[in-house]
Amino acid sequence: MAVTLNANHLKGFVMDHELCGIQAQLDAAHRTLHEKTGLGNDYLGWLTLPTDYDKEEFARIKAAAEKIKGDSDILIVIGIGGSYLGARAAIEFLKSPLYNNLKKDTPDIYFAGNSISPAYVNDLLSICEGKDISVNIISKSGTTTEPALAFRIFRDLLEKKYGKEGAKGRIYATTDKARGTLKELSDKEGYETFVIPDDVGGRFSVLTAVGLLPIAVAGCDIDALMAGAKEAQDALCDPDVEKNDCYKYAALRNCLYRKGKAVELLVTYEPCFTMMNEWFKQLFGESEGKDHKGLFPASVTFSTDLHSMGQFIQDGSRVLFETVVKFKTPKSDLFIQPDAANFDGLNFLSNQNMSVVNEKAFEGTILAHTEGGAPNMVLEVGGVNEKELGYLIYFFEKACAISGYLLGVNPFNQPGVEAYKKNMFALLGKPGYEDLQGALLEKLK
Amino acid sequence: MAVTLNANHLKGFVMDHELCGIQAQLDAAHRTLHEKTGLGNDYLGWLTLPTDYDKEEFARIKAAAEKIKGDSDILIVIGIGGSYLGARAAIEFLKSPLYNNLKKDTPDIYFAGNSISPAYVNDLLSICEGKDISVNIISKSGTTTEPALAFRIFRDLLEKKYGKEGAKGRIYATTDKARGTLKELSDKEGYETFVIPDDVGGRFSVLTAVGLLPIAVAGCDIDALMAGAKEAQDALCDPDVEKNDCYKYAALRNCLYRKGKAVELLVTYEPCFTMMNEWFKQLFGESEGKDHKGLFPASVTFSTDLHSMGQFIQDGSRVLFETVVKFKTPKSDLFIQPDAANFDGLNFLSNQNMSVVNEKAFEGTILAHTEGGAPNMVLEVGGVNEKELGYLIYFFEKACAISGYLLGVNPFNQPGVEAYKKNMFALLGKPGYEDLQGALLEKLK
């Protein structure tokens, strides 16, 4: 089991000697990362997480998931950014993008606290009517505006429905191990708590309690998820670009960036991977997009988006390259029966599995797009399951760290996210922001 | 009612005289469009659609919607590209992105035939078990692979469940008025048919039966939708850039493109607008992305994506600008109660509506991003309802046509979409593609 990089379709876009040319920089990035001497070296917990995660907490996560499965129709997961995308992406990938609509013996899972739209909260509240609910609030500090606001609302709902005592047993807080508002409140109220480690940033946190509790509630095998990540941790340690597809991927995307490509388009042929695309966009966009540098991360789900973005990719501005995540074995299959009348002329597709047609769409597209001038790489993944997902997550995380060091940025901070927050606080009249408020109101005139 | 362009935040990015500089080109684009002398002038039916649509058919659409509401738990809408995105986007915008999960007196609506993933079809089939179903198949020819395959599957399901006779009354075909496989089959079987006009391309078709039937089934007011579009048709005819915000938008995005911006990011603060973002991406990407030209269209939903793409937008490569679609009146609101303990320190947000906080997030973000070097325009829309949506759809369609002519491309074709199809057919062994098949297999070795 592994993620394999197929770079055959880069011929004519990246020369073989370019990989030799970048090897010394890869070596340096590898040392910087593993010797923990680089920018952001306080946030390298994810690097060894698959082996040194907290086994006692892991068992508690599984127990909590069982309790929630037993006493809840709905789990509301409150979090934003890295405290939202990983869990949702994993659940949609492993179960279904239609998870909440399927008949199943696990709770529906809805995500809240990731926007400030009242309409969305009102819809969620109406869905919760008459249902048994648990809440997983995920926030390091407990004061991030979006999740804190949502937590006020859903905590109030639970306390009204179950009483303060009953609500206690239905609120699970994933937060700092010792400090912060949410940790204090949880200790005071007696909520069960799980830990967001100090040395794992939000976008690298899906394999901590942040992701694991919701993923387990959906009925996914989190042991297999961690085992897959561990395989990647063990496998992706050789700095030689020809022996490490994770580093090769980082190197090739860097080559394409340096020769002028502005956009990396992550491509899937499975609707269940669409939210993983979003997870990827945060991981790479937030890690690389700084100091006026970085590839703009975008994504498409084919063949759906071949009928929307396909024209641009085939023949628009030559600013992009594609990275296709391709699964060798489909999650499920469907045999195409021949139609006696063959009214639509599609009998040439019949008497075979639908996944074969999807495969040929992939092959046909990659030949068309590269012919049109859009470079393509393929990350081949074995199948759609927990173990492969764990491997893929770690693969992307490490590729992202190496990519950041190749680019010369700190892959683990996100200073730019504070700018809008500061302005928003000032405009909302938060105490201490009075001077800024005046200046901003002037600009808005 | 109108869509108003606020360009105040472009100061320092686009100079006032640039609009004067582009006025002559706008005049030319306006004439080219209205005198129907330009590239793609066979596809201008959308331009006058809000006044000259088929009123008899419109009444039949409403009647069919009522029948479906009365006899179906689920409507399966089969279509891809423009036969998929518009209806889904309008329903999620007007009703909810959680429409299928809400308690309601209208059918659930699922979209099929927009991918070749067997896992997705299998999920849909399991959701359909034990439910009453109708199908709306939308395809001009009836032979497009994705929808044709899905139609085979769901038609079979209906015929097994209701018999051939019963299925007939539950299948609605939106297709060519006279020709094509689907039209022939429908006439033979006796399905009710609706028309995809010859002079309206897929991505401009949401206000034809293509979009209107599913939108009406969801319980939306399609009269108001058309009325809003008509207001836009009447309002957006002045070629003077200072008197026509639709043209001003087209002009400004062209200015930004010509000074090196590669990506236009459509921004919303409402989760219900997320699929409208996708609709926009097809409209502009497929219209402009040709001859190695065009802005790459991308999208974000804030504040969600401020915690994923926010860092890049604030401080990454300066390759993008933002176009924010902002609603003056929220769809619904929620009063933020103060919390006696104020444990999270958020009482400064309380005693006001949540929409005010969302508004301040918008203001704070636009000031932060422009300060960081990302140009911003704002399209201000009155509210979240059918009439405003009709106006906005027409606004974008016309802005797109003008944009295409400013860019010097045919805004109404999509020749690049054929390349992958041809390859796919060859690889699947479609009769007549034998020579190409050999060449492609060689390249895949």
Judge whether residue B348 has pLDDT over 90: yes
Residue B2 has pLDDT above 90, yes or no: no
Q: Count of CB atoms within 10 A of residue B21's CB?
A: 12
pLDDT tens digits, residue range A422-436? 999 999 999 999 999
**Residue B286 a catalytic site member:** yes
What string of DSSP letters covers A350-386?
A: -SEEHHHHHHHHHHHHHHHHHHHT--EEEEEE--SSH
Taking contacts as CB-CB distances below 8 angstroms, the residues of chain A near B384 are 119
Percent of the residues in chain B that have a pLDDT greater than 70, as a whole number: 100
Closest Cβ–Cβ partner in A101, A349, A426 for B127: A101
Cβ atoms within 10 Å, residue B377 = 24
- Residue to test with chain A: of B420, B428, B436, B445, most A Cβ within 10 A: B420
| Joined tokens for residue B180 | 């094509």
- Per-residue confidence (pLDDT) for residue A264, from 0 to 100: 98
Distances from the Cα of B445 to the Cα of A6, A357, A380, B138, B315, angstroms: 12, 19, 16, 37, 42
- Check whether the bond before B303 is cis (ω within 30° of 0): yes
Give the whole-angstrom CA distance, residue A354 versus residue B267. Answer: 36
* pLDDT tens for each residue of A137-150: 999 999 999 999 99
Contact present, B381 and B325 (Cβ < 8 Å):
yes
Other C-beta atoms within 10 Å of B74: how many? 18
Where does residue B112 fall: left (phi above 0), alpha (psi -120 to 50 degrees), or beta otherwise? beta
Nearest to B44 by CA among B194, B196, B198, B246: B198
Instruction: Give the Å distances, CA to CA, from B87 to B82, B136, B229, B372.
Output: 9, 12, 15, 36
pLDDT in tens, B251-293: 999 999 999 999 999 999 999 999 999 999 999 999 999 999 9
Query: For residues B382 and B396, is the Cβ–Cβ distance under 8 A?
Result: no
Convert A174-196 to b/e letters by CB count within 10 Å (16 or more is b).
bbbeeebbbbebbeebebbbbbb
Structure tokens at A333: 């299959």
Task: Count CA atoms closer than 13 A to A401's CA, side-chain side.
Answer: 31
- Band of residue A2 on the pLDDT scale cut at 50, 70, 90: confident
Give the single-character DSSP code of B141. Answer: S
Q: B275 is written with which tokens?
A: 């699929």
Collapsing DSSP to helix, strand or coil, A144 comes out as: coil
| Contact map slice: A 100-119 vs B, CB within 8 A | 100-103, 108, 110, 114-119
Angle, in degrees to the nearest 10, between helices B222-235 and B209-217: 140
Instruction: Indicate which residue of B286, B288, B322, B388 is catalytic.
Output: B286
Q: How confident is the model at residue B445 (pLDDT cuts 50, 70, 90)?
A: confident
pLDDT score, position B1? 58
d(Cα B402, Cα A362) in Å, to the nearest integer?
34
SS3 B240: coil
Nearest to A416 among B116, B145, B314 (CB): B314
Give A302's contacts in chain B (Cβ within 8 Å).
115
β-pair type (A74-78, A108-112): parallel
Q: Taking all residues of chain B, what is their mean pLDDT, rounded to a whole number? A: 97
The amino acid at residue B245 is D
Residue A392's nearest CA partner among A229, A223, A190, A167 is A229
* Chain A residues touching residue B186 (CB < 8 angstroms): none
* pLDDT of residue B246 exceeding 70: yes
| From B156, B334, B428, residue closest to A118, measured CB to CB | B334
Query: What's the rounded Cα separation, in Å, for the pair A91 and A389?
Result: 11
Question: pLDDT value at position A1?
Answer: 58
Strands (E), A139-210: 171-175, 192-195
| Contact between residue A57 and residue A226 where contact means Cβ atoms under 8 Å apart | no
Segment B437-445 mean pLDDT: 92
Categorize the per-residue pLDDT at B21 as very low, low, confident or very high, splitting at 50, 70 and 90.
very high
Give me the total of CB pairs closer than 8 Å, taking one residue from chain A and one from chain B.
Answer: 454
Taking the mean position of all CA atoms in its chain, how far away is CA A414?
16
Tell me the residues of chain A between 21 and 80 that have a Cβ less than 8 Å away from chain B: 80
Residues of B within 8 A of A373 (CB-CB) are 292
Q: Which two tokens stand for residue A7?
A: 């770079």
Split at pLDDT 50, 70, 90, the class of A445 is confident
- A43 phi and psi, to 5 degrees? -120, 50
List beta partners, residue B376.
Answer: B322
* The token pair that represents B159 in the structure block: 């015929």
Confidence of residue B212 (pLDDT cuts 50, 70, 90): very high
Could you tell me which residues come within 8 angstroms of residue B11 by beta carbon, excluding any fewer than 6 positions away? none
For range A265-281, the mean pLDDT: 98
CB spacing of B317 vs A156 below 8 angstroms: no
State the average pLDDT over residues A190-204: 98
* C-alpha to C-alpha distance for B92 and B266, rounded to whole angstroms: 17
Tell me what the mean pLDDT of segment B126-152 comes to. 96
At residue B163, the 3 state secondary structure works out as helix
- Looking at chain A from residue 269 to 288, which residues have their Cβ under 8 Å from any Cβ of chain B? 269-272, 278, 281-282, 285-286, 288
% of residues, chain A, pLDDT over 90: 98
Question: Cβ–Cβ of B419/A372 closer than 8 Å?
Answer: yes
Residues 173-202 of A with CB under 8 A from B: 181-182, 184-185, 202
DSSP-derived letter for residue B131 is S
Task: Provide the pLDDT for residue B236.
Answer: 98
A18 tagged catalytic: no
CB within 8 Å: A286 and B308: yes
Q: Which of A18, A286, A386, A388 is catalytic?
A: A286
> What CA–CA distance (Å, rounded) separates A297 from B298?
10
Residues A295/A261, Cβ–Cβ less than 8 Å? yes
- DSSP percent split of chain B into helix, strand, coil, nearest 5: 55, 15, 35
- Beta carbons within 10 angstroms of residue B408's beta carbon: 11
Task: Sort B284 into a burial class: Cβ within 10 Å, 0-12 / 13-18 / 19+.
Answer: buried
Task: Tell me, yes or no, if A224 comes closer than 8 A to chain B by beta carbon.
Answer: no
Could you report the per-residue pLDDT of A28-79, keeping only the tens digit for each?
999 999 999 999 999 999 999 999 999 999 999 999 999 999 999 999 999 9
Estimate the share of chain A in helix, then strand, then coil, as percent rounded to the nearest 5.
Answer: 55, 15, 35
Q: Identify the band that residue A151 occupies on the pLDDT scale cut at 50, 70 and 90.
A: very high
pLDDT tens for each residue of B379-422: 999 999 999 999 999 999 999 999 999 999 999 999 999 999 99
Residue contact A330–B289, C-beta within 8 A: no
